[in-house]
Amino acid sequence: MTKEETKQAVLDIIADVAPDEELSNVKPEVKLRDQLELDSMDFLDIVMELRKRHNIEVPEADYPELASLDSCAEYLTPKFEALGK
């Protein structure tokens, strides 16, 4: 999976977790919580969906790695690759 595909996978999850959010103008370098109205439960839902849909575990200590789309891509793309995705 490329970094762009990883970003899209995260956006797909956010679209399901927070269906009222407008995702077409999300800036990849800006923290997701600063530009979307995601609360802590939404964030936990995103982490749980990563595990459910893609079998990717994100330890709590690594949650800051999921702050922006760019940081998600940096952190998650190697995990997708390790799973052969």
Please report which helix (H) or strand (E) contains residue 69, including its range.
Answer: helix 69-82
Cα dihedral 3, 7, 29, 41, rounded to 10, equals -140
At residue 85, the pLDDT reads: 83
pTM above 0.75, yes or no: yes
Pairwise CA distance, residues 6 & 32, whole Å:
15
At residue 15, the pLDDT reads: 96
CA angle 62, 65, 71 (to 5 degrees): 160
Q: What is the pLDDT along the chain (85 residues), one digit of tens a residue?
A: 999 999 999 999 999 999 999 999 999 999 999 999 999 999 999 999 999 999 999 999 999 999 999 999 999 999 999 998 8
Q: Which two tokens stand for residue 84?
A: 């052969």
